[in-house]
Amino acid sequence: MAEKRITVLILGIAGALLLVAGALARLQLLDGEQYRVKAEQRRNRTVLVPPERGRIFDRRGVLLADNAVRFDLHIIPAAAREIAGGLPALFSYITTKTGADRVELESRYQKIEERVESNVQREIRWLERRGRLASAGSTARNRQEADARRAVESRSYWLVRALEPAAREPLHRAERTGLVIVPRSERIYPQGNLAVHLLGHLRELNSDEYAARQIGGDYRTAWARRIDPDRIDRLARHAAIRTTRYGAAGIEKQYDFLLRGRFGLTIRQATPTGRALADRIDPEAGLDLTLTLDVALQQAAEEALAGKVGALVAIDPRTGELLAMATAPTYDPTDPATREQPNAPLMNRCIAGLYSSGSTMKPFDAVAGLEELPGFAHQSYHCNGQIRLGNTTMRCLGSHGSITLGDALKRSCNVFFYRTGIALGVRPSRLTQWFRRFGVGSLTGVDLPGEKRGALPEPTGQGAAANLAIGQTLTVTPLRMATAFSAFANGGQLVTPHLLKGEAIPGRPIGIAPEHLKLVRAGLRRVVNESGGTAYRAFQRTPLPRGIKAAGKTGSAQHSGPGKTHAWFIGFAPFDRPTICVAVIVEQGGGGGSVAAPIAAAIMARYFEDR
Amino acid sequence: MIRGTLYRRMPWSIPLLISALLVIGLLFVRSASYRPATGSVTADPYKQAIWITLGAALFVACLLVKTQRFADWIGWLYGAGLLAIMACYLFPAVKGAQRWIALDGLAKIQPSEFMKVILALALARFLTHRPDLHRVRPVAGALLMAAVPTVLVFRQPDLGTATLFIPMVMVMLWVAGARTRLLGGLIVLGVLAAVGFYFSPLIKPHQKARIDAFVNPSPASEQREGYQLAESKIAIGSGGLSGKGLGEGSQNFMGQVPFDNSDFIFAVIGEEWGFVGAVGTLGLLLALIVRALGVAAASRDPFGRLVVVGLMTPIAMQTVVNSAMTVGLVPITGMTLPLISYGGSSMIATLAALGIVCNIAVHRPIVLATESYPVHLPPTDSP
* A1, A32, A139: residue with CB nearest B206: A139
pLDDT of residue B222: 54
Instruction: Test A31 with B237 for CB contact under 8 angstroms.
Output: yes
pLDDT of residue A437: 95
Q: Which of A159, A172, A155, A158 is CA-nearest to residue A95?
A: A159
Q: How far is B26 from chain A (nearest CA, A)?
A: 18
Measured CA to CA, the distance from residue B249 to residue B251 in angstroms comes to 6
Instruction: Test A42 with B254 for CB contact under 8 angstroms.
Output: yes
pLDDT of residue B224: 53
Q: How far is B325 from chain A (nearest CA, A)?
A: 9
pLDDT of residue A281: 87
For residue A525, pLDDT beyond 70: yes
Instruction: Test B270 with A16 for CB contact under 8 angstroms.
Output: no
Instruction: Test B239 with A28 for CB contact under 8 angstroms.
Output: yes
B78 touches chain A (CB under 8 A): no
Measured CA to CA, the distance from residue B128 to residue A192 in angstroms comes to 98
Residues of B in contact with A272 (CB under 8 A): 34, 36, 247-248, 253
B40 touches chain A (CB under 8 A): no
Q: How far is B185 from chain A (nearest CA, A)?
A: 18
Residues of B in contact with A144 (CB under 8 A): 224
Region for A451 from its dihedrals, namely left if φ exceeds 0, alpha if ψ lies in -120 to 50, beta otherwise: beta
Mean pLDDT of chain A: 89
pLDDT in tens, B261-307: 888 999 999 999 999 999 999 999 999 999 999 999 988 888 999 99
Q: Which residue of A has its CA nearest to B303?
A: A2
pLDDT of residue B225: 57
pLDDT band, residue B43 (cuts 50/70/90): confident
B361 touches chain A (CB under 8 A): no
Residues of B (283-322) whose Cβ lies below 8 Å from A: 285-286, 289-290, 293, 296-297, 302, 305, 309, 316, 319-320
Mutation for A interface: B216, B250, B253, B319, most A CBs within 10 A: B250
pLDDT of residue A149: 84
Residues of B (150-169) whose Cβ lies below 8 Å from A: none
Interface predicted TM-score of the whole assembly (ipTM), two decimals: 0.90
* B176, B206, B305: residue with CB nearest A138: B206
Q: Which of A578, A586, A523 is CA-nearest to residue A358?
A: A586
Strand-pairing partners, residue A570, are A553, A583
**Helix crossing, B111-127 with B159-176: angle to 10°?**
20
* B36, B220, B237: residue with CB nearest A132: B220
B225 touches chain A (CB under 8 A): yes
Strand A44-49 and strand A56-57: the pairing is: unpaired
Instruction: Test B236 with A35 for CB contact under 8 angstroms.
Output: yes
Question: How many beta-carbon pairs below 8 A join chains A and B?
Answer: 150
Instruction: Render A256-316 in DSSP notation, one character per residue.
Output: HHHHS-B-EEEEEEEETTEEEEEEEE--BPPPPEEBS--HHHHHHHHHHHTTS-EEEEEE-
Residues of B in contact with A41 (CB under 8 A): none
> Exposed, middle or buried, B192 (CB in 10 Å: 0-12/13-18/19+)?
exposed
- Find out whether the peptide bond into B378 is cis, omega within 30 degrees of 0: no
Contact of B305 with A50, CB cutoff 8 Å: no
For residue A155, pLDDT beyond 70: yes
For residue B57, pLDDT beyond 80: yes
Q: Which residue has the higher pLDDT, B161 or A143?
A: B161
Mutation for B interface: A13, A126, A129, A268, most B CBs within 10 A: A13
Mutation for B interface: A35, A138, A268, most B CBs within 10 A: A35
Residues of A in contact with B271 (CB under 8 A): 39
Instruction: Test B290 with A10 for CB contact under 8 angstroms.
Output: yes
For residue B331, pLDDT beyond 60: yes
Mean pLDDT of the A502-526 span: 91
Mean pLDDT of the B197-211 span: 78
> Exposed, middle or buried, A281 (CB in 10 Å: 0-12/13-18/19+)?
buried
Residues of A in contact with B209 (CB under 8 A): 134, 138, 140
Lowest mean pLDDT among A12-16, A363-367, A409-413, B209-213: B209-213
Q: How far is B80 from chain A (nearest CA, A)?
A: 30
Strand-pairing partners, residue A262, are A284
Mean pLDDT of the A1-30 span: 94
* B225, B238, B286: residue with CB nearest A35: B238
pLDDT of residue B368: 55
pLDDT of residue A313: 97
Mutation for B interface: A17, A45, A76, A144, most B CBs within 10 A: A17
Q: How far is A281 from chain B (nearest CA, A)?
A: 24
> Exposed, middle or buried, A404 (CB in 10 Å: 0-12/13-18/19+)?
middle
Tell me the whole-structure pTM to 2 decimals. 0.68
Q: Which residue of B has its CA nearest to A131?
A: B220
Mean pLDDT of the A420-447 span: 94
Instruction: Test B253 with A38 for CB contact under 8 angstroms.
Output: no
Mean pLDDT of chain B: 86
Lowest mean pLDDT among A252-256, A408-412, B157-161: B157-161
Instruction: Test B323 with A272 for CB contact under 8 angstroms.
Output: no
Instruction: Test B316 with A13 for CB contact under 8 angstroms.
Output: yes
Q: Which residue of B has its CA nearest to A134?
A: B224
Strand A274-281 and strand A56-57: the pairing is: unpaired
Instruction: Test B297 with A3 for CB contact under 8 angstroms.
Output: yes
Mean pLDDT of the A193-213 span: 89
Q: Which residue of A has its CA nearest to B234?
A: A35
Residues of A in contact with B316 (CB under 8 A): 13
B248 touches chain A (CB under 8 A): yes
pLDDT in tens, A94-149: 888 888 888 999 999 999 999 899 888 888 887 787 677 777 766 667 777 877 88
Contact of B336 with B99, CB cutoff 8 Å: no
Q: How many CA atoms lie within 13 A of A442 on its CB side?
A: 13
> Exposed, middle or buried, A486 (CB in 10 Å: 0-12/13-18/19+)?
buried
Lowest mean pLDDT among A176-190, A243-257, A384-398, B157-171: A176-190
Residues of B in contact with A1 (CB under 8 A): 177
Q: Which residue has the higher pLDDT, B174 or A272?
A: B174
Q: Which residue has the higher pLDDT, B156 or A585?
A: A585
pLDDT band, residue B383 (cuts 50/70/90): very low
B175 touches chain A (CB under 8 A): yes
Instruction: Render B29-87 in DSSP notation, one character per residue.
Output: HHHHTEETTTTEE-SHHHHHHHHHHHHHHHHHHHHHS-HHHHHHHHHHHHHHHHHHHHH
* A9, A38, A274: residue with CB nearest B234: A38
For residue B6, pLDDT beyond 90: no
pLDDT of residue B382: 42
pLDDT band, residue B381 (cuts 50/70/90): very low
Instruction: Test B234 with A14 for CB contact under 8 angstroms.
Output: no
* A21, A40, A134: residue with CB nearest B282: A21
Q: Which residue has the higher pLDDT, A276 or A261?
A: A261
Mean pLDDT of the A273-302 span: 89
For residue A416, pLDDT beyond 60: yes
pLDDT in tens, B246-258: 988 888 877 777 7
pLDDT of residue A371: 95
Strand A56-57 and strand A289-290: the pairing is: parallel
For residue A27, pLDDT beyond 50: yes
Amino acid at B68: Q
Largest CA distance in chain A: 139
Mean pLDDT of the A491-503 span: 93
Residues 6+ apart with CB under 8 A from A133: A124, A127, A141, A144
Positive/negative CA dihedral, A146, A151, A154, A159: negative
Q: Which of A298, A294, A354, A292 is CA-nearest to residue A326?
A: A298
Instruction: Test A1 with B177 for CB contact under 8 angstroms.
Output: yes
Lowest mean pLDDT among A294-303, B7-16, B86-95, B286-295: B86-95
For residue B377, pLDDT beyond 60: no
Instruction: Render A461-493 in DSSP notation, one character per residue.
Output: SHHHHHHHHTT-S--B-HHHHHHHHHHHHTTSE
Instruction: Test A273 with B290 for CB contact under 8 angstroms.
Output: no
